[in-house]
A and B are shown apart, each in its own frame.
Chain A
Amino acid sequence: MKLLRTLRPILEPNLGHITALASLALVVIGVLAIDVATDGGTAVGKQLMFVPLGFGLLVLIALPHHRRICDMATPLMIVTLIMLVIVLIPFMPQFLVPMRNGARRWFNLGIVLFQPSELAKIVFVLALARYLRYRENYRTVRGLVQPLLLAFLPMALILVEPDLGTAMIFLPVLFAMLLAAGAKIRHLAMIITLGLVLCPAMYPLLKPHQKARVNDVIARMLGDNRHEQGISFQGKTATTLVGAGGPVGRSPEHAANLVRFNRLPEAHNDMIFAVICTRWGMLGGLIVIGLYMVLMATGLAVAALNKDPFARLVVVGVVTIIFTQVVINVGMNLGILPITGMTLPLMSYGGSSLLANFAMIGLIVNAGAHRPVGLARPSFEFATSAA
């Protein structure tokens, strides 16, 4: 009974439940696809192990009122920044900060490798939401400077690791949250335009392999297929397998053989969407995209119904993280975006990423479950002047 009473706030029907159900459906499809991709390997078992853990984390995060979470935002941000700095300190012992594929992104926690940047995404959302919740000055250009700095600090640290993919997520999240908070679209558009103009200038700063990948996706779009065995291999194989699925997909054995003998790299991880399309075809791909749409739409609806400014912004931030990852990951699987190490939320193989995603869903469920008591000040409702 006590447990039931504890869980009561999140058991009452609310839109967050639909978000959670959509997430669980995606996880189930993901596990089935991992089975196809690894063809009876041990990965499915490991992933299944993390599902109850993740669900527990979801509940744990959904339970307390978001005010408590708001209180923890600043200390969490500081801890995260420290961890991001530590992984970058040269001569850190390899057993603590292992180097993988030329990048230093992980903490070795003994049983699992922990990626501070995964945490940094969420903590950044919390910190920014906390910063913006009672302010109005971001409606001036000058007031946008602090939020931008708040984003650039973790971004820069993550870029140095290097982890371009994760670092890139911070920008859409920042702009989506500013937009939702009522920043002037004029200002945001100005900054984005400036950024886009500066983008080509950033190209020389990319690492050689990043340049090669950007060039590759552009080359392949122009019909240049000379690198099919080299740098294009991963992207080309993924699009081939997506196409091989046809409208409704292939039988489990056939799909598994196609994935295996085409030697799709990272089939159960970054390229899981290609495996889904091989197995269940366009239909499966559309269902997955549809489930993500349901997840994001109900998330935004949760934000709309909640009146608390912190909860509203957290949900917008979390939904944007998931949306950005989905677009980048599916985009690279479909051959329209360069290959970056970006997982498909809730579906790709990997325990820590699954936990992080469940934590984010937990934040949405939290916002759905906990309405502000009494009359709350309507947040982010500014008079839209003629200007």
Chain B
Amino acid sequence: MRAALRRAIPSMFHRRLLLLLVVMVCASGVLASQLFRLTVLEGESLRAEAERVLVSRKLIPTVRGTIYDRKGRVLAIDEPCYDIAIDYDVITGEWAYAAARNLAYHDNKSSWGEMSWEQREALIETYIPPFQAKLDALWDTMVSIGDIDAEELGRRRRTIVQRVQTIRSDVWERAAERRSQELGEPVELSRVAQPIAEERESHTILSAVPDRVAYAFRTLSSELPGVHVIQAKTRRYPVDDVTVTLDRSTLPSPIAVQSTQDVTVDRVCGHMLGSMREVWAEDVERRPFRHNGGVDLGGYLPGDHTGLAGIEQAEEDILRGTRGQQVTRRDTGDVQRVDAQRGHDVHLTIDVNLQARVRAIMDPDFGLMQVQGWHSNHRMAPGTPLYGAAVVMEVATGEIVAMVSTPMPPKREPGEPYPDLSTHPDKPLINRAISAVYPPGSTVKPIVYCIAAKTHAISINEQIDCRGHLLPNRDNLYRCWIYKSYGEVHGPLDPVGAIARSCNIYFFTCGKRIGAEALVANYRLWGLGDPPGLGLRGEVDGLLPSLTSPNPEGRGLTVPNSILMGIGQGPIAVSPLQVATAHVALARGGHFISPLLIRERAATQVQRDLGISRPVIDLALEGMRDVVEARYGSANHLTIGGQHEPILNTPDLILRAKTGTAQAPTQYEMVRDGHDNLVRTDHVLRDGDHSWFVCHVQRKGEESAAYVIVVVVEYGGSGGRVSGPVANQIIHALKAEGYL
């Protein structure tokens, strides 16, 4: 080969030139192939990338829909406001160093290149004081004009820095993870550590400031570093801090006075409405603003807000609306504009005034929701606050007029950390009306009678003899409450008597005869153990055995299951809303209607006839009426100091009721051990049974009840002593608001 080349090109110089030429051609070939890769193979994507800068996009904010109550009162509304935001580097104070460095460089440009790093730092140091003074002036101005405590201001700054640092480490970790998946090798955090958007942005320090404060900052903004007055929107909940005047004369005599009391309640619809929070990465991922190179105007950008719990979260997609945008081609000047679309409004069936009254009634300060002498609850100290839930439903429509859960969690202040309430013993975050489940206890007895009659387990007017216990030979199993407490028996009872006296033996027998499968199937028809369908996140189905799959132990339903479920115990636990829904169906004459909270969802309401004959309904309702009116009825009277006084004291109404007792586990104080696990201590926080009270309220002269009230008081003790007076006050509240 070499010899052949030498023969062809005898001159060594020429051969060497040829070698040089070959090197040059090869190098040009490499350049040309890279050129081909960039222009042809990657041309389209690089072109799109290059052209992106030709378009400037200005987003037009939208307005979130308003939430109204049943009478058109505003519950939540977007209002324009001014926020005072500060650049992140000013918040951290790094701004002073950066500004000093710029100025130092500008003044010493010529010698900068010759200085060592230490010399530069020393020089910069001398430039810092005036900038630091500007920063100090800024924070002083914030305190004096912005009506904020210096300590609070410092805390907010720290919170922002902490939040940004958390986001940053999160972003970096995810970027490192992505990169290491791409590369197939572990990637150090420092390789992906670039500043995140939050570090270049300004952050709101004072939100929704009064106009005069905004104006003052705007005039000062040229002197203060990094201050921005932002036109923002704030979500306002106008029915906050409502003062309700309650009549104390109708209370049980130990706490009754002939006067009124003003009770102030905050966030009247708190649990129900929810609130707003800044979006998390998950929200942005669910519906990103930018996806596949395009833009979804309804999508989320970091810094957007989204609903947190309640209606705000449930109806997020309806309330949110879509942004508008103005796209300007920077090269041609063409402008394309898409207007913003306001979010849709949401109307609730709630009456906020009634809601406020029920909230006030259930405020422990009012007296009913704290341990009182007539409760006969000796396990908890008098005055211990009691918590629970109440639901008021309209019988004709299934609409929820009021729905309250106590206690209410503390208010969420913008920019402040929220306490971790997830392990709080009182569980304030839970909306007990829809999210907590309790065994319904005796409240289901009228319904069990209806089911037994419908399934022909008993005849309509069948008498059953109460001998104190269900099984003749076992006096320690399946006992009637009267036998357990007093060693007495009810003797033969018809359905009305059985309901009025809440006889366990009658309904043990019903449950046993109906059979567990049929009982569960019928409970579901009545809405017990089925999704209520309000649309709120957190509403529970209730716990009822599945008919299609075996229980966790792999066993099917047993006879003892059916016996216990006959009195609302055993494998059954439902929410207060579900009990109210079932009793609405009873008050409607056996016609089920699913509950409604959001009017916009009325089309999804379910109605069905439960197939109960009228005489059966009438007997069940008559039994409930005796619960109120007969001396032996559990909703008839309180015994205070040996004297009887009526639980329900609104004589111009036809009232039917049913009390119930749900066994509750003793609540012990929990503490965190060294490994951050929760451990039980011996200290008893709460003890006793949960107390149910169901009441059908009927105006005189009308055919059926207008409202169903359900009250549950946790650890309130058995029967109607605790929850009954609460229901009584709710009836008074319905009257005060003109519903009766």
Contacts and interface: CB of A to CB of B under 8 A. Distances in A.
B40 A247 contact: yes
Given A246-B40, A262-B50, A262-B53, A282 B13 contact: no
Interface string B13-51: 110110111001101101110111011101111110111
A243 B53 contact: no
Given A262-B50, A286-B35, A381-B11, A99 B110 contact: yes
Interface string A291-323: 011001100100110000000100010011001
A179 B35 CA distance: 30
A323 B16 contact: no
A126 interface: no
A260 to B, nearest CB: 8
A319 to B, nearest CB: 8
Interface residues of B, number: 47
Contacts of B632: none
B35 A316 contact: no
A258 B112 contact: no
B421 interface: no
A282 B36 contact: yes
A21 to B, nearest CB: 19
Given A103-B113, A176-B20, A289 B32 contact: yes
A330 B50 contact: no
B12 A243 contact: no
B12 A381 contact: yes
B17 A304 contact: yes
Contact of B182 (A102, A223, A244, A246): A223
Contact of A244 (B25, B31, B32, B50): B50
Nearest to B9: A304
- Which residue among B21, B42, B182 has the maximum number of chain A CB atoms within 10 Å of its CB? B21
B194 interface: yes
B53 A261 contact: yes
B13 A312 contact: yes
A42 interface: no
Contact of B35 (A282, A303, A381): A282
Interface residues of A, number: 60
Interface in A254-286: 254, 257-258, 261-262, 277-278, 281-282, 285-286
Contacts of A352: none
Given A257-B330, A381-B13, A242 B39 contact: yes
Contacts of A180: 13, 16-17, 20
Interface in A199-218: none
B182 A285 contact: no
A164 interface: no
B20 A179 contact: yes
A261 B113 contact: no
Contacts of A382: 12
B113 A99 contact: yes
A114 interface: no
B269 to A, nearest CB: 47
The secondary structure that dominates the B interface is: helix
A319 B21 CA distance: 10
A240 B54 contact: no
Interface in B38-87: 38-40, 42-47, 49-51, 53-54
Nearest to A100: B113
Contact of B28 (A224, A293, A300, A303): A293
Contacts of B676: none
Contact of B39 (A285, A316, A380, A384): A285
B183 interface: yes
Given A240-B49, A384-B6, A246 B39 contact: yes
B331 interface: yes
Given A243-B50, A378-B11, A282 B39 contact: yes
A174 interface: no
- Which residue among A246, A278, A320 has the maximum number of chain B CB atoms within 10 Å of its CB? A246
B740 interface: no
A226 interface: yes
Nearest to A274: B38
Contacts of A319: 20
A240 B46 contact: yes
A227 B31 contact: no
A76 interface: no
A157 interface: no
A111 B53 CA distance: 38
Contacts of B47: 243-244, 246
Contacts of B54: 257-258, 261
B192 interface: yes
B331 A293 contact: no
A227 B11 CA distance: 52
Contact of B112 (A102, A277, A379): A102
B191 A226 contact: yes
Nearest to A261: B53
A211 to B, nearest CB: 14
A331 interface: yes
A180 B36 CA distance: 32
A292 B331 contact: no
Contacts of B32: 285-286, 289
A99 to B, nearest CB: 6
Contacts of A227: 194
Nearest to B35: A285
Interface in A315-347: 316, 319-320, 323, 327, 330-331, 334-336
A336 B193 CA distance: 24
Contact of A300 (B20, B53, B194): B20
Given A247-B39, A261-B331, A182 B13 contact: yes
A336 B34 contact: yes
A323 to B, nearest CB: 5
Contacts of A241: 46, 50
25 contacts: A101-B113, A176-B20, A239-B38, A243-B43, A244-B43, A244-B47, A246-B39, A247-B39, A253-B331, A257-B54, A261-B330, A278-B50, A282-B35, A282-B36, A285-B35, A289-B28, A293-B24, A296-B21, A300-B17, A300-B20, A303-B17, A312-B13, A320-B20, A336-B34, A380-B16
Given A296-B24, A319-B20, 13 more contacts: A224-B191, A243-B49, A247-B43, A253-B331, A257-B54, A261-B330, A282-B36, A293-B28, A312-B13, A330-B31, A336-B30, A336-B34, A380-B16
Q: Which 10 A-B pairs have the closest CB atoms?
A: A243-B46, A102-B113, A244-B50, A257-B331, A282-B39, A244-B47, A226-B194, A243-B38, A246-B43, A334-B34
Interface of B: 6, 11-14, 16-17, 19-21, 24-25, 27-28, 30-32, 34-36, 38-40, 42-47, 49-51, 53-54, 110, 112-114, 179, 182-183, 191-194, 330-331
